[in-house]
């Protein structure tokens, strides 16, 4: 029969068919593969045919579907007559699953042949293993490879269809088929050894819901089950192989990727360095821009929420405020005893001191490396006050300071200080945040409903008084201030500050005609100390504004006052003459009035307290007539030394005042500061010696700025002009200082910068000269641009050099001159603000943030036309 002949042909290795030779098929496949055709060849389903009733299903060409892996889901048992099937079962030979209905021709075309068995059952013929059964499901697997392959069906004759599918071997190996969750992995069919050519590996064939494949022929079910078992084994093997291959390919891919990254990184390190630098610089610029915008936004918010008290009216009847609420002063922490391994030694032996005595001993130990502890007056005052806090037994033991050894205690505090200096940034940030919390709680008050900053809300801790110069009380003990020493001032409707636990205030009062929040009496001089508001507050600003307005009024009355004190030079009464000469010195030299001093205070003097020994008269000196030489200690023990030519009548009066007097006698023995200020107040309400000093300082600044400033100056030159004007005022007011300790070092560094910049300028000049020469010889657009570039570079370097030289001059001139004192206390800030606005100089160049807060009223109200 036909089926048996075809089975024999397949077993013998025949790979060709009668109607389609191998050569023709091979030629066509190669031709289509070369052309890159993506057309899918369609296979056909082989349908089981009956002998008589189903004639149209026997035609293989009538059904064209793509070659599919079929799911056989039939659970139905085929019923057949055993007698009818017996004769044909003997001629049917079932082989393994690979041989079952499959064979390959010489062109690697896989022929899938499903043998048909004629079974006579009620006149019907059933097809065993046909492509179409009752529950057979056919589905299409899309192949996304760039090389698509064609499936086609092939018929040998009209009696029975044979399916033949062709795929290239590489396509089968590279194909990755993804199945959905309802699909089972396909069974892989391997190439058999007995074929003349290599068979492509087929993907697994999906088989589900198969209880058994029934064959009426004997042993058919068992044979098909063995096929299924073989399929499962091959499926597990192929899964393990795919997993190994996948891991291997992943490792290879990782190695390749890492190698490529290393090559790229090593290759691009040098080339990408400028790019990285540019990127980092760009990011840095962006951060700076963001910070700038953030600062500007914060500044705008601060300005928007700023209290412009100067636009409001003043309180009547001398009232300073209507409501005042605060938390009181912040007391220093209690004393922490020294560790047991840090002893105090007396006569070489350790002594355990009481807490009070030990605390005072630490004050002295901390100052061992300071020159104060070498002064006899300091040592005597300290030892006297220290013995007062000792116990009776300690006083009996410790009798000489020279036998006391504080070195161990000093070393302990030095090490403690070093530990604090070496704290990490995070640790310092924690301390800063704690300090900020305390400032937020104690450093602000509510004044008339507005939040104002308090100046010195922390009480000074106990310690040793130092003083300035050779103060007679240096070394004395400044005692710890207790809440029982403090008077609190607040409004009646405000909550009274709570004192520390276990303590109470000395007194609570509600006086709105004063500006202080708390007060106490310090023990060194018996002076009253105050807690006041910050200089940026309304109360301080109003006081400054009033002071400068009074000084401006003096400008209208000063000529009359000068005529009056000149007239007094020739008065018959000695008191009037002394008053006239004293006012002349205050007006011309901007001397302080001077107050009477106690014997236990520093020997500093002012105009009214000058002694005969403080001046020397020279009728002729250095080409000048009637020269007075001043030499005395002024405020803060700053020496005032000056040679000033005076008018003849003043010179005569000074000789008269010095007659028959000892060097220690007062020069102006008939007048006092109180008398002098009283006469000034009679000349103009509110006028004092200090107002005269403020008037002369502000007038000098205005005159110097008008004289030294030129419109075409650079900003740096204008700043130098301002500092020189400020310096003239500082010299007038005798605002001197000692040269900073780092002055020489900073000047050397600045001079080194100037030297390097000078070399750069000289180099730039040579390069410009060479560029001009090259351009002259061979003119071109490129050489022209090079010349322009070199000119710009030279100009920029020259400006930088000029700026550095101006800084050097400015520093040298201000070496021993304190510009800040006069700038903050004697110069009307509106002069500076108007000058900045007129000459386009940023106010920030003159006033820092603190100064701008202090003079916010002046910055807001002054325009460029303001004149003192």
N residues, the chain = 868
Give the whole-angstrom CA distance, residue 613 versus residue 189.
Answer: 126
- Our answer to whether residue 826 is catalytic in this structure is yes
DSSP state of 121: B
> What 3 state SS string does 610-672 have?
CEHHHEEEEEEECCEEEEEEEEEECHHHCEEEEEEECCHHHHHHHHHHHCCCCCCCECCCCCC
- Give the single-character DSSP code of 152: E
Residues 6+ apart with CB under 8 A from 300: none
Render the burial of 80-116: b for 16+ CB within 10 Å, e for the rest: beeeebeebbeebebeebeebbbbbbbbbbbbbbbbb
Backbone angles phi, psi at 865, to 5 degrees: -95, 5
Give 404-470 as a 3 state SS string. EECHHHHHHHHHHHHHHHCCCHHHHHHHHHHHHHHHHHHCEEEECCEEEEECCCECCCCEECCCCCC
* Beta carbons within 8 Å of 820's beta carbon, 6+ residues apart: none
Q: Please answer whether residues 804 and 754 qualify as being in contact, where contact means their C-beta atoms are separated by less than 8 angstroms.
A: yes
Dihedral sign computed on CA atoms, order 169, 170, 174, 180:
negative
Rounded Cα distance between 703 and 696, Å, is: 11
Quote the CA–CA distance of 779 and 268 in Å, as a whole number: 39
For residue 670, what are the CA distances in angstroms to 435, 573, 579, 587, 681? 53, 10, 9, 19, 19
Going by the DSSP 8-state scheme, the letter that residue 50 receives in this structure is -
> How far, in whole angstroms, is CA 334 from its chain's centroid?
36
**Which of 372, 565, 826, 847 is an active site residue?**
826
Give CA separation, 570 vs 561, 576, 670, in Å.
16, 9, 16
Q: Are 539 and 321 in contact (CB under 8 A)?
A: yes
Phi, psi (rounded to 5 degrees) for 163: -85, 130
Strand 487-489, strand 507-509: pairing = parallel
Q: Which of 420, 416, 417, 409 is nearest to 368 (CA)?
A: 409
Q: Where are the beta strands (DSSP E) in 49-202?
A: 65-66, 102-104, 110-112, 151-155, 161-165
Separation between Cα atoms, residue 594 and residue 630, nearest integer Å: 15
Distance of CA 856 to the CA centre of its chain: 28
Task: Tell me the β-bridge partners of 103.
Answer: 111
- The C-alpha atoms of residue 31 and residue 34 are separated, in whole angstroms, by 5
- Residues near 328 by beta carbon (within 8 Å), at least 6 away in sequence: 442, 486, 488, 497, 498, 499, 505, 517, 518
Task: Just list the catalytic residues.
Answer: 826
């Amino acid at each position: 029969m036909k089926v048996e002949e075809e089975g024999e042909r397949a077993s013998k290795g025949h790979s060709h068919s009668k109607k389609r030779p191998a050569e023709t098929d091979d030629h066509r496949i190669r031709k289509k593969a070369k052309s890159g055709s993506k057309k899918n060849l369609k296979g056909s389903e082989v349908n089981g045919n009956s002998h008589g009733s189903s004639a149209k299903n026997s035609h293989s060409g009538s059904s064209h579907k793509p070659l599919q892996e079929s799911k056989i889901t039939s659970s139905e048992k085929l019923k057949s007559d055993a007698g009818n099937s017996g004769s044909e079962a003997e001629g049917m030979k079932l082989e393994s699953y690979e041989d079952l209905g499959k064979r390959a021709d010489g062109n690697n075309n896989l022929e899938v042949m499903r043998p048909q068995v004629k079974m006579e059952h009620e006149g019907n013929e059933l097809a065993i293993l046909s492509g179409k059964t009752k529950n057979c499901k056919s589905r299409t697997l899309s192949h996304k490879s760039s090389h698509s392959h064609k499936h086609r069906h092939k018929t040998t004759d009209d009696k029975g269809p044979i399916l033949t599918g062709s795929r290239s071997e590489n396509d089968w190996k590279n194909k990755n088929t993804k199945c959905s969750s309802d699909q089972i992995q396909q069974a892989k069919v391997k190439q058999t050894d007995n074929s003349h050519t290599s068979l492509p590996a087929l993907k697994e064939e999906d088989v589900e819901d198969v209880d058994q494949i029934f064959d009426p022929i004997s042993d058919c079910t068992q044979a098909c089950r063995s096929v299924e078992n073989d399929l499962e084994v091959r499926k597990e093997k192929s899964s393990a192989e795919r997993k190994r291959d996948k891991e291997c390919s992943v490792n290879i891919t990782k190695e390749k990727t890492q190698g490529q990254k290393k090559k790229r990184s090593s290759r691009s390190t040098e080339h990408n360095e400028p790019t990285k630098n540019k990127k980092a610089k760009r990011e840095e610029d962006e951060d700076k821009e963001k910070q700038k915008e953030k600062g500007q936004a914060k500044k705008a918010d601060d300005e928007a929420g700023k209290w412009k008290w100067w636009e409001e009216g003043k309180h009547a009847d001398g009232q300073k405020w209507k409501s005042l609420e605060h938390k009181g002063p912040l007391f220093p922490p209690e004393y922490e005893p020294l560790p047991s391994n840090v002893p105090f030694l007396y006569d070489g032996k350790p002594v355990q001191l009481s807490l009070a005595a030990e605390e005072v001993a630490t004050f002295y130990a901390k100052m061992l490396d300071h020159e104060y502890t070498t002064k006899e007056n300091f040592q005597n005052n300290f030892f006297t006050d220290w013995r007062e806090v000792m116990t009776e037994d300690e006083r009996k033991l410790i009798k000489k300071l020279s036998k006391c050894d504080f070195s161990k205690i000093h070393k302990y505090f030095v090490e403690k200080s070093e530990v604090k200096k070496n704290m990490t940034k995070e640790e310092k940030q924690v301390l800063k945040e704690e300090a900020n919390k305390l400032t937020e709680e104690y450093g602000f008050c509510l004044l008339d409903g507005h939040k104002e900053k308090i100046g010195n809300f922390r009480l000074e801790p106990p310690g040793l008084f130092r003083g300035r110069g050779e103060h007679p009380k240096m070394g004395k003990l400044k005692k710890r201030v207790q809440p029982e020493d403090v008077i609190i001032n607040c409004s009646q409707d405000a909550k009274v500050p709570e004192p520390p636990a276990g303590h109470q205030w000395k007194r609570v009062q509600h006086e709105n005609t004063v500006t202080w929040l708390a007060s106490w009496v310090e023990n060194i001089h018996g002076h009253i100390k105050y807690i006041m508001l910050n200089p940026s507050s309304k109360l301080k600003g109003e006081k400054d504004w009033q002071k400068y307005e009074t000084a401006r009024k003096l400008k209208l009355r000063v000529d009359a006052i000068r005529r009056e004190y000149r007239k007094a030079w020739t008065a018959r009464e000695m008191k009037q003459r002394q008053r006239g000469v004293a006012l002349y010195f205050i007006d011309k030299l901007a001397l302080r009035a001077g107050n009477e001093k106690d014997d236990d205070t520093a020997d500093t003097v002012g105009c009214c307290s000058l002694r005969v020994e403080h001046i020397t008269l020279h009728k002729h000196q250095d080409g000048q007539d009637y020269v007075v030489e001043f030499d005395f200690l002024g405020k803060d023990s700053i020496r005032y030394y000056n040679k000033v030519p005076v008018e003849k009548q003043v010179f005569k009066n000074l000789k008269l005042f010095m007659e028959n007097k000892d060097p220690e006698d007062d020069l102006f023995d008939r007048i006092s500061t109180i008398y002098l200020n009283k006469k000034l107040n009679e000349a103009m309400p509110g006028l004092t010696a200090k107002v005269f000093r403020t008037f002369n300082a502000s007038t000098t600044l205005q005159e110097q700025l008008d004289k030294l400033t030129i419109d075409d100056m650079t900003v740096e030159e204008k700043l130098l002009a301002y500092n020189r004007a400020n310096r003239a005022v500082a010299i007038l007011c005798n605002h001197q200082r000692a040269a900073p300790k780092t002055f020489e070092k900073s000047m050397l560094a600045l001079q080194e910068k100037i030297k390097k910049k000078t070399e750069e300028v000289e180099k730039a000049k040579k390069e410009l000269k060479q560029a001009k020469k090259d351009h002259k010889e061979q003119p071109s657009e490129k050489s022209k641009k090079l010349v322009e570039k070199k000119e710009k570079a030279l100009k920029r370097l020259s400006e930088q050099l000029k700026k550095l030289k101006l800084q050097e001059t400015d520093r040298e001139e201000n070496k021993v001159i304190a510009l800040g004192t006069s700038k903050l206390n004697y110069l009307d800030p509106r002069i500076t603000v108007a000058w900045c606005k007129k000459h386009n100089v940023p106010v920030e160049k003159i006033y820092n943030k603190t100064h701008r807060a202090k003079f916010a009223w002046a910055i807001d109200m002054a325009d460029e036309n303001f004149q003192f």
